[in-house]
A and B are shown apart, each in its own frame.
Chain A
Amino acid sequence: MRHANAVIVGSGAGGGIVAKELATAGLNVVLLERGKWYSAADCRKDDLRNQRTTILGNAFGPDDEGNPRVLVDERGQERILKPSEGGYNNNAACVGGGTFSYGAQAWRYMEKDFRMRSAYGAPTNSTLEDWPISYQDLEPYYEKAEIEVGVSGDVEPNIFKAPRRRPLPMPAFPPNREHQILHPAAKRLGLHPFDIPMFRNTVPYNERGACMRCRWCVGFACEVNARSGSHNTVIPKALATGNCDLRTECVAKEVVVDAKGRARGVIYFDARGKLVEQSADLVIVSCAAIESARLLLNSKSALFPRGLGNRYDWVGRNLQGHTYTGAVGLLEEETYDDIGPGAQIAICDYNHGNAGLAGGAMLANEFIRLPIQFIGQVPNFVPKWGKGHKDWVRRAYRRTVMVQGPVQEMPMFDSRVQVDPQVRDRWGIPVARMSGARHPHSMEIARFIAGKAEAWLREAGAIQVWKKIPGAGLSGGQHQAGTCRMGNDPKTSVVNRFCQLHDVDNAYVIDGSVHVTNGGFNPALTIMAIAYYASDNLLRAWKGTRVRS
């Protein structure tokens, strides 16, 4: 097989951008993706089988057959889980990764999100830490991601936002009904509402049309290709250079090293199940926090007996996601207007500056809800079945508003990914074994944020409000992050400030794994900004067939 300059494992928010940047610079790139390449035509509008509602399976992978994970709960009970089951902490397995079917909120983190330890001090039993890079280091790359992938919205009224040089490239949608209800209510409370930044065309952009505002949005393929991810932006650009070879349904087994401990390439199972090795000058791991950690931990050799980059036992540690918390309100008036994507309005008043709390969360109204999703939101005080339940659903479906936000979590050393000693996937590769819990302080922040969501809904006219606060079990989910922490000290982190493994200068981790903390925001734009930033630094150091150490 032809030698490559770079082999990238994973084509999501991180890997897709790295592929485009390296291929554009003239490097010969192989992009491995374990899943398939779906398109707009794969919008099946199946309420029971999509990437958000997985009752009958995941629409965009992984398949339920042959892709187990092991979850160890707080009491030490082990469960083997299928990808469509809760607790699996799935992210899609397809070209584009999570960005193919996500809700597509495009947030910049705030300046304080990069120096959480300095701002608040680490709570007991937390590995809360500062990033080795600052918001200012990433700002130009945030801007690049907003322009190249394409972000709409209006963040100007957000007085809490970090400094930015340019406005978003596309305007916000006209307000939907929930926006019209929540905006004046927030103003009356002295808050600072604005239009959510989103990877979604509100006007024609990047040679694709505008959103038609349908009901089947988050979790589905975008039927009109107006929502943007790596699959319809950077990956086509990478392929157009002629320098990028995208290989789908290829499952990486391990990163292999040479006698000197430098990465030699990736061994993977191709689409026909044949085990092959792709040699490369550079290896870039971009599989998202759980699978990236698993791949490194499965890459054992004489020089790295505990897994690649794992000399100090930090690979797989600090698994975090977001503690999604908020409230649902029942109003007298109709709130449902059947206009997607639904989520449109947010506030950042409670991301920081909450007395006694180490951070907080952005709060936004929720995406448009399909009936089956609404059933999952029916509160406890409603009868579980019978006419009482049906009556309530009929009355409330078009009269509720949900406000929630992703609480920034306190990382924990023991919330982690390992490889399971027994369970293997259909290719015989040891699977991810996840264990740990949320930090009590994350839960404390969650309760505070839910109270703020409730207050906003009451001001908006809700006659009844019920809070939504998750349990204290392990976090991760689509927003999974933290397992290959970025840091200056090789003893307490996995990669350096350029996403390079401390131990192996030609191996990189470029995805949410490197996040030291995960912000009180959806992480996709930050993953993309880091991918642009890391690619830029990699290319500066690139000397023909290797990087200058």
Chain B
Amino acid sequence: MGAAATLGGSAVSCSRSNAGRWRFFTPAEALTADAVCEQIIPADQDPGAHDARVVNYIDMQLTKHFRQYRDTYRRGLATIDAISQAKHGRRFIELSFAVQTEVLRDVQKQAKPFFELILTHTMQGFYGDPRHGGNRDAVSFKMLSLPYPPVRGRRTSA
């Protein structure tokens, strides 16, 4: 849990590498979304959603195939901060990993459609194809011991 706990506040590295480069998200929204994704798939002995740049996948798709979800994200991320502020007096990314988990359990109840959406998109960004902006360095494929790119020209089970 140690590595994961620091990640709650370490999303700074995310903003550094992507400063001014978000397509849809504001920098603040990107940080919140990144922290939510990391809650959904946290780093442990294998990389998590932050390392896989899942938020980059979501941001990219929000300008393409997921355009219809823009409002849901904008309002959903605001709701997360509102719940954090109301309960803990801080923005979501300022909370510890464990407290973030608690807040997300509330979000899951109070903003179910948004939570389900970001949950689904996080799975896609982590376990899907690297070409779409997530699953950086095929981290999930490595976690599952899938050779990527695959060995070509194989003919039998040998």
State yes or no: do A and B come from one complex.
Answer: yes
Instruction: Judge if A421 is at the interface, Cβ distance under 8 Å.
Output: no
On whether A387 and B42 interact (CB within 8 A), knowing A175-B157, A375-B123, the answer reads: yes
Instruction: Judge if B154 is at the interface, Cβ distance under 8 Å.
Output: yes
Give B117-136 interface residues, CB cut-off 8 Å to A. 119, 122-124, 127-129, 131-132
Q: Which of A208-216, A274-282, A286-294 contacts B (4 or more CB under 8 A)?
A: A208-216
Instruction: Judge if B14 is at the interface, Cβ distance under 8 Å.
Output: no
Instruction: Judge if A405 is at the interface, Cβ distance under 8 Å.
Output: no
Contact B41 A390 (CB under 8 A): yes
Contacts of A390 in B (CB 8 A): 41-42, 44, 46, 48
Q: How far is the CA of A177 from the CA of B156 in the complex (A)?
A: 12
Q: How far is the CA of A176 from the CA of B143 in the complex (A)?
A: 23
Contacts of B153 in A (CB 8 A): 212
Q: How far is the CA of A177 from the CA of B119 in the complex (A)?
A: 32
Instruction: Judge if B144 is at the interface, Cβ distance under 8 Å.
Output: yes
Contacts of B141 in A (CB 8 A): 371
Contacts of B143 in A (CB 8 A): 394
On whether A48 and B128 interact (CB within 8 A), knowing A174-B157, A385-B119, A398-B145, the answer reads: yes
Contact B147 A338 (CB under 8 A): yes
Instruction: Judge if B152 is at the interface, Cβ distance under 8 Å.
Output: yes
Contact A398 B144 (CB under 8 A): yes
Chain A residues with a Cβ closer than 8 Å to the other chain, count: 37
Contact B127 A375 (CB under 8 A): yes
**Nearest CB of A to B158, in Å:** 8
Contact B156 A56 (CB under 8 A): no
Q: How far is the CA of A397 from the CA of B126 in the complex (A)?
A: 15
Q: Taking CB as reference atom, which chain B residue is nearest A216?
A: B150
Contacts of A215 in B (CB 8 A): 146, 150
Contact A176 B154 (CB under 8 A): no
Chain B residues with a Cβ closer than 8 Å to the other chain, count: 35
Contact A210 B155 (CB under 8 A): yes
Contact A47 B128 (CB under 8 A): yes
Contacts of B42 in A (CB 8 A): 386-387, 390
Contacts of A393 in B (CB 8 A): 127, 144
Give A367-402 interface residues, CB cut-off 8 Å to B. 371-372, 374-375, 384-387, 389-391, 393-394, 397-398
Instruction: Judge if B61 is at the interface, Cβ distance under 8 Å.
Output: yes
Instruction: Judge if B32 is at the interface, Cβ distance under 8 Å.
Output: no
Contact A213 B156 (CB under 8 A): yes
Annotate A176-218 by CB proximity to B: 1 below 8 A, 0 otherwise: 1100000000000000000000000000000000111111000
Instruction: Judge if B101 is at the interface, Cβ distance under 8 Å.
Output: yes
Contact B147 A371 (CB under 8 A): no
Contacts of A387 in B (CB 8 A): 4, 42, 44
**Nearest CB of B to A392, in Å:** 12
On whether A48 and B129 interact (CB within 8 A), knowing A213-B155, A372-B124, A385-B40, the answer reads: yes
Instruction: Judge if B87 is at the interface, Cβ distance under 8 Å.
Output: no
Instruction: Judge if B65 is at the interface, Cβ distance under 8 Å.
Output: yes
Contact B154 A48 (CB under 8 A): no
Contact B39 A385 (CB under 8 A): yes
Instruction: Judge if A46 is at the interface, Cβ distance under 8 Å.
Output: yes
Contact A372 B123 (CB under 8 A): yes
**Nearest CB of B to A398, in Å:** 7
Contacts of A176 in B (CB 8 A): 157
Contact A371 B132 (CB under 8 A): no
Q: How far is the CA of A337 from the CA of B65 in the complex (A)?
A: 33
**Nearest CB of B to A49, in Å:** 8
Q: How far is the CA of A177 from the CA of B132 in the complex (A)?
A: 32
Contacts of A47 in B (CB 8 A): 127-129
Q: How far is the CA of A215 from the CA of B150 in the complex (A)?
A: 8
**Nearest CB of B to A400, in Å:** 12
Contact A48 B124 (CB under 8 A): yes
Contacts of A240 in B (CB 8 A): none
Contact B132 A48 (CB under 8 A): yes
The answer, among A48, A174, A338, A339, for a CB contact under 8 Å with B146, is A338
Q: For A46, A390, A391, which residue has the most chain B Cβ atoms within 10 angstroms?
A: A390
Contacts of A210 in B (CB 8 A): 155
25 A-B pairs whose Cβ atoms sit less than 8 Å apart in the complex: A46-B131, A47-B127, A56-B64, A174-B156, A211-B155, A214-B150, A214-B152, A337-B157, A338-B147, A339-B157, A371-B128, A372-B127, A372-B128, A372-B129, A375-B127, A384-B119, A386-B39, A386-B40, A386-B101, A387-B4, A387-B42, A390-B41, A390-B48, A393-B127, A398-B144
**Seed contacts A177-B157, A386-B39, A397-B144; 16 additional CB < 8 Å A-B pairs:** A46-B129, A47-B129, A56-B132, A173-B157, A176-B157, A211-B155, A212-B155, A213-B155, A338-B147, A371-B141, A374-B127, A387-B44, A390-B41, A390-B46, A390-B48, A398-B145
Q: Identify the 7 closest CB pairs spanning chains A and B, nearest first.
A: A371-B127, A47-B129, A385-B40, A48-B128, A372-B127, A397-B144, A56-B65
Residues of chain B at the chain A interface (Cβ within 8 Å):
4, 39-42, 44, 46, 48, 61, 64-65, 101, 119, 122-124, 127-129, 131-132, 140-141, 143-147, 150, 152-157
